[in-house]
Amino acid sequence: MKMPTIVSEFRAGLANGQLLIQNCTDCEQPNMWPRYACPHCQSENLGWRVSGGKGSLHSFCVLRQGAPEGFEEDLPYAIGVVKLDEGVQLAVRLVPDAPGDWESYSCDDRVEFLAVSAEQIEKRPVATFRRVGG
Ligand SMILES: [Zn+2]
C-alpha cells in the first residue's frame, strides 16, 4: 500500500470523477495546490471540497516533441493553467478538438472539468479540461 501524500485525496477524487480543491475549515478559503498550512490564516485544519469544475484558461502549451522523460508516448498533448471560478488555479491536460489539434483554444476561454477513467488517472493523475461553447 502506498503512503498517503498531500495529493492523495485530490488523486482519489479524480479517479472517482471529481475535481477536489483544498479548503481551509477555519477561514473557508480555497487553496490550490494543496499545502500543509492555510496561506490565509496559517490553520492546519484543511479539508477538501468538490469544485464546480468551471474556470478560464489562463495559459496553455501544446507539446509535439521534446516531452519530459516518461511522457514521450503521450505526444502530442496540451497542458494548461486553469483559473477556477473558486479563485484558485491548477495545471491540467486539455482535450484536443481532434487528434493532435487544439486550434480552437485561446487564452481566457471558458473551460470545464471532464471526468476521465480511473485507469487514466492511475497513469496520469492530472485533471482534464475541455473548452466550453463556440
Ligand atoms: Zn485558513
* pLDDT band, very low/low/confident/very high, at 133 (cuts 50, 70, 90): confident
44 Cα–ligand 1 center, Å: 8
Q: Beta 77-84 vs 54-63: how paired, if at all?
A: antiparallel
The pLDDT assigned to 61 comes to 96
- Give the pLDDT confidence score for residue 2 in this predicted structure: 64
Distance, in Å, from the CA atom of 113 to the CA atom of 18, rounded to the nearest integer, reads 9
**pLDDT tens for residues 90-102?**
999 999 999 999 9
Q: Which of 48, 45, 54 is nearest to 10 (CA)?
A: 48
Listed in sequence order, the residues at least 6 apart from 64 whose beta carbon sits closer than 8 Å to its beta carbon are: 75, 76, 100
Q: Report CA(7)–ligand 1 centroid distance (Å).
A: 18
Q: What is the mean pLDDT of the chain?
A: 94
All domains of the chain, ordered by start, with CATH? 8-131 (2.40.50.840)
| Overall pTM > 0.85 | yes
Give 88 Cα–ligand 1 centroid separation in angstroms: 14
Closest CA to 129 of 59, 75, 72: 59
Alpha carbon of 87 to ligand 1 centroid (Å): 14
51 C-alpha vs ligand 1 centroid, how far in Å?
17
Q: How far is the CA of 42 from the centre of ligand 1 (A)?
A: 6
On the question of pLDDT at 115 being above 80, the answer is yes
Q: Which whole number is the average pLDDT over 27-39?
A: 94
CA of 32 to the centre of ligand 1 (A): 12
